[in-house]
Structure 1
Amino acid sequence: MPLYLSKFSYTPETWARMIGNPEDRRRAAQAYVESVGGKLHGFWYAFGEHDGYTLWEAPDNVSMAAVALAITGGGALGSFETTVLLTVDETIDALRKAEEVQYRRPGA
């Protein structure tokens, strides 16, 4: 199954609610991805541009998109970005296929 790295930031209102009532959001994230047949591999908070990161596994892009849409539709996040991760083997396959693509630079 494909892996996905998500970066998210809470709204100030969400942080205020969590200060008043701290909770472990890993359980919620796990339930969201399991509902589409996936798995949560990790959940971390961070300093910097984003408040947290998650590493997910989902059956396909549509399933992961459904999770992302449900989460962002909830209004607790100010931002949510997801990156599809490729294995080394998938990248090597892509490199081999890229050789077959007849790319031409603009203006060439």
Structure 2
Amino acid sequence: MPIFITYATYSQNGVRGMLKKPADRTGPVKALLKKVGGKLLAFYVTTGENDVVVISEAPDGTDAVAVGMAVAASGAVSKIETVRAWKAKDFVAIQKKAAKLAGAYSPPGK
């Protein structure tokens, strides 16, 4: 199953909710991923630009994006970004495909 990394930043409403009722948010995220046939691999609360980093598996990108949209619709986050990730050994096939395509693209002005 494809792996996705999601970065999220809590909104003011999300922070207010956490202060009102402190809780580990891993369970709700795990349950949401399960609804799309996915699996939570890791959930981290972080410092810096992003407040949360979620590593998950989902059947495809549309499922991962739908989960992010559902969380965003709750108003708990002000920013959310989901990216596809590959294990290094699996990325070799993509490199080989790109090598076959190298030189086939004609850049603008040529």
TM-score in terms of structure 2 length: 0.90
Deviation at 1:13, TM superposition (A): 2.1
Q: Give identity over the alignment, percent.
A: 31
Matched, 1:97 2:68: no
Which has the larger displacement, 97-106 or 8-17?
A: 97-106
Rounded Cα–Cα distance in structure 2 between residues aligned with 1:71 and 1:107: 43
Deviation at 1:100, TM superposition (A): 2.2
The aligned runs of 1:3-82 (5 Å cut-off) are 3-82=3-82
Q: Secondary structure at the match of 2:18?
A: helix
Q: Report how many residues are paired.
A: 108
Deviation at 1:5, TM superposition (A): 0.4
The two structures, once aligned, show a CA RMSD in angstroms of: 1.2
Unaligned runs of 5+ in 2: none
Unaligned runs of 5+ in 1: none
User: Deviation digits for residues 42-101 of structure 1, max 9, x if unmatched?
Assistant: 111111001110001111112212211211111111000001001223321111111222
Rounded Cα–Cα distance in structure 2 between residues aligned with 1:72 and 1:32: 13
Q: Post-superposition, which runs of at least 4 consecutive aligned residues in structure 1 deviate over 4 A?
A: none
Task: Determine if contact 2:14/2:76 at 8 Å carries over to the other structure.
Answer: yes
TM-score in terms of structure 1 length: 0.92
Rounded Cα–Cα distance in structure 2 between residues aligned with 1:50 and 1:95: 30
